[in-house]
Amino acid sequence: MTNRFLGPFLAGALLCSPFPASAIYFNFEPDPGTSQDAINGFVQAGNLWNVWLGDNITLNIEIGFTALDPGIIGQTSSSWLGPSYSEVVSALQSHATSPDDFSAYGNLQSGSSYSRLINYTSNNPNGPNSSIPYVDTMDWVGLTAANAKVLGLLGPSLNTDARIVFSSSFSFAFDHASVDPFSIDFVGAAAHEIGHVLGFVSGVDDIDTMGGAQPGTNFSSNMIDLFRYSTNSIAYGSGVTDYTAGNAYPKYFSVDGGTNAIAQFAAGKVLGDGQQASHWKDGLNLGIMGPTAGYGQTLNISTNDVRAMDVIGYTLVPEPCTAQLIFTGFAACAAALGARRRRT
Ligand SMILES: [Zn+2]
């Protein structure tokens, strides 16, 4: 942080303390041979999230480098759980703290199952593998081990929660404050992958890549998909979510049952817009969970990213900030973010 940005940063800090009393402890477990630069980069990436998230949990994350497909910067795999929809809703409601939480959970479908639009399944009534959506009912939800820990659906353990690997064939800049034009921002990219670990993963990617091969009952919506809507899905009923692959009807993040769109999601690598659905829409500068990173580009966490983490179960720090964020202090918090974005 340079003096140049101290002003706006401190102005925001009055509302959003960057020094939370509790925070996520990221227990990174590096593969043998992982450089100290990379290990330090992961720690900084965890700290980027901890500016916003104040949950007192420990996450065990293996980290390393390997050969990945051309164009792939990093990859994340997580342990997954599949609790019932009732358990998930109850856990979310008992962790509701922010206005977004209360709004989002108040607009979740009631009962022990939820309705969603789905397509490209073997049991599509419009024909096997048809792109035409139909309404499907599901009674469980997929969530990452990290997401389960934060909601109390998984207790503390030494088990590995996730593994993040970076491509060994990219040039990385390890100084987040100074990304040269020929390198990828390692800290930002690591924060992106940690975002997937935390739970920003859509099950629509399963439909997108395995479409037609399996019935809809094999695909639960993931946590983030409980807040994935389109104007098409809500036309089928209040709070009906959109779990379809493909470009028809933009899919968006909403915290009020789909009435108001906050940010658009990507539509699918194979059947959609060419980007995995586990991301914001590409090219719109929506946040660190966008699907691509350019050489020389500094990647930073946006208010969209923070609001998504908030409603999937994380707690923003300190809580007064959350209320301020939504009602009166949004500009101040955004200014802190904006200041850091301009550091490029
Ligand atoms: Zn990603």
The pLDDT, as a whole number, for residue 39 is 97
The pLDDT, as a whole number, for residue 328 is 38
Give 116 Cα–ligand 1 centroid separation in angstroms: 24
Give 192 Cα–ligand 1 centroid separation in angstroms: 6
The pLDDT, as a whole number, for residue 4 is 27
Give 294 Cα–ligand 1 centroid separation in angstroms: 13
Residue 188 in tokens: 């930002």
Give 236 Cα–ligand 1 centroid separation in angstroms: 30
Per-residue pLDDT tens, the chain, 344 aa: give them: 222 222 223 333 334 444 456 899 999 999 999 999 999 999 999 999 999 999 999 999 999 999 999 999 999 999 999 999 999 999 999 999 999 999 999 999 999 999 999 999 999 999 999 999 999 999 999 999 999 999 999 999 999 999 999 999 999 999 999 999 999 999 999 999 999 999 999 999 999 998 667 898 889 999 999 999 999 999 999 999 999 999 999 999 999 999 999 999 999 999 999 999 999 999 999 999 999 999 999 999 999 999 999 999 999 987 544 444 444 333 333 333 333 333 22
Give 191 Cα–ligand 1 centroid separation in angstroms: 10
Give 14 Cα–ligand 1 centroid separation in angstroms: 32
Give 21 Cα–ligand 1 centroid separation in angstroms: 29
Give 341 Cα–ligand 1 centroid separation in angstroms: 19
Give 69 Cα–ligand 1 centroid separation in angstroms: 14
Give 154 Cα–ligand 1 centroid separation in angstroms: 24
The pLDDT, as a whole number, for residue 199 is 98
| Total-model pTM | 0.87
Give 312 Cα–ligand 1 centroid separation in angstroms: 17
The pLDDT, as a whole number, for residue 20 is 52
Give 110 Cα–ligand 1 centroid separation in angstroms: 31
Give 280 Cα–ligand 1 centroid separation in angstroms: 9
